Structure 1
Amino acid sequence: MFIDYAKARIKAGNGGDGVVSFRREKFVAKGGPDGGDGGRGGDVIAVGDENVNTLITYRYTQLYAAGNGKNGSGSRKTGAAGENVYMRMPLGTQVFLLKEDGKKIKLGEITQHGEELVLARGGRAGKGNSNFATATNQAPRHATLGKKTQEQELELVLKLMADVGLVGFPNAGKSTLLSVLSSARPKIADYEFTTLEPMLGVVKGSDYRSFVMADIPGIIEGAHEGKGLGHQFLQHIQRTAILLFLIDINTPDPIAAYQTLRSELYLYDKYLDTRPFIVVISKMDTVADPDEAFAPIGKAFKEQFNVDALPISAVTHLNLDKLTHRIFELLDEQ
């Protein structure tokens, strides 16, 4: 199951206490202070993991708690530090701290494999009494306590990281295209909203080159306002390098469909309007005369938007080589 939103509770480790202790040895009647420091509390750390692709783990684990530092002891022995706890997260995860007043503070985001982000630092260690000896107080009888930490609540939001994002209305052929170009196996059926969660596929080209393509669930008008789970779907497009608009050849008004898709993206995030893009007219295998059916559509796109739309068919593989070649060209320009 693909989960792109979760909440998690975390707690860094408490610092260990310093101790009051005095050196006690045979023939040493009044040894000096030798109380050791406590150990530092463990941290809670997020780690990027390219092998993790969902936040589902954080739906079921109640609390991620790091180890507490151990107390110090005599002979100036420092307590052991608490163990860190690591939260392995998919690339593209944003981490927010939820405050009691309802405000959110962004702690950071994970974008690279092995990248670490400290979410909560362990409590500082307490000082033993050996730290407080002076010329006028050679037998201090006090030590400091380690710092205690509090539980915190996090909000985790996953935005897929892909080179190409497929954008289109429901049942435009996005999943079929992804399944043909890559080894991904999304659910495919002849009804709208077959795809209910994003899916990634690796498309391999020549010379050992490849790119990652994301199949985003279909967009409907009003998606920027959250209609049809629009916000959950649109957030995954924000990290893609190239937008690939798919418009069904059987759409009554392909130009209007394209304008609606562009408008929804712009209203959600105006910077998406500056992203490189490709327009393809899909399902050419469903019309009797592909050339005749595409000609007026291709002409309209060229005249109105100066866009060279590309007719394709994932079923007959029409122009799929041209499509991948054009994608590689755009990626090289980035």
Structure 2
Amino acid sequence: MRAHQEPHRGPAQAAQGRTAIDDFIRIERLKKHYPVQGGPLGTTRGVVHAVDGMDLCVLRGETIGLVGESGCGKSTLARLLLRLERPTEGRILVDGQDIWQADHAFLKGYPHRMQMIFQDPFSSLNPRRSIGATVGEALAIHGMPRADRARRVSELLGLVGLRPEHAARYPHEFSGGQRQRVAIARALALNPDCVVCDEPVSALDVSIQAQVINLLQELQDRLNLTLVFISHDLAVVGYVSDRVAVMYLGRLMELADRQTLYAAPRHPYTRALLHAVPVPDPEARGGTERVGGDIPSPITPPPGCPFHPRCPQAVDTCSRSMPEWREVAPGHFVACHLA
């Protein structure tokens, strides 16, 4: 088990004596909106608020879990962290530098700081390229000689539990778990500081999920990695994470260390998610927290708290004003009028 990480102090950290340099990744007022085109003339019918104002910090060496229902903006955030999307507003700081305003030297080295493991281990691998070529592609791009590249590929395959001779095979010759190990090896090729894991085990069988999760934790301890672990599976997130952030309609609802969030959630949405997690005891009763209806459209998010149309505890204030993101206990943040 990893050593306990100091809980993040969030927006109130300046008053507590911490500075931005303490954080490896710092997200400030981040927004990503997508225009919706429609009609014969391609006019804009609206805007999808995929990420709609996020503040989050990630400490070096920790695993932060990001959970929420499908469509809440988790994968969009991952793409923003990788510079695959440019934010509409706000900024992302890595080691204190804005990743969209940094100089050429910083951007050239950015692949050494941030890599990604994608959800589907089959579609994320090129079926026409051997495993060795796939894992070594980034090394070739960055100018590593062929002989050194072959040694590095063999080292990476051994690191994730595969054999050197696997380098000559193709993705279709591997099982799902083996393909995800290849994807992990590819993400580690440039010795990144942080790996963004976007639903890395959701496409795998349960027994294989455990193997991949244990592998990620072993690699994190060995290589001092920072992990951003994105999933809708709270059981998995609760097992791997030091802190957990809960998203809904592009916003953060709650953030706390794993033990606190699972034992004493403050937001009604977090409680509903936790009570929906299946338990192995057939005699156990389900939780009393229930939410009705579907997630509102991200094109026309509701006024006030975005969760209030489904919240069983909502009051008039919830529909009129956006709740403040505030610290309700040391290291425990929540956006709820009633918390």
TM-score scaled by structure 2?
0.23
* Greater RCO (CA < 8 Å, at least 6 residues apart): 2
- From the CA coordinates, give the structure whose radius of gyration is larger: 1
TM-score scaled by structure 1?
0.23
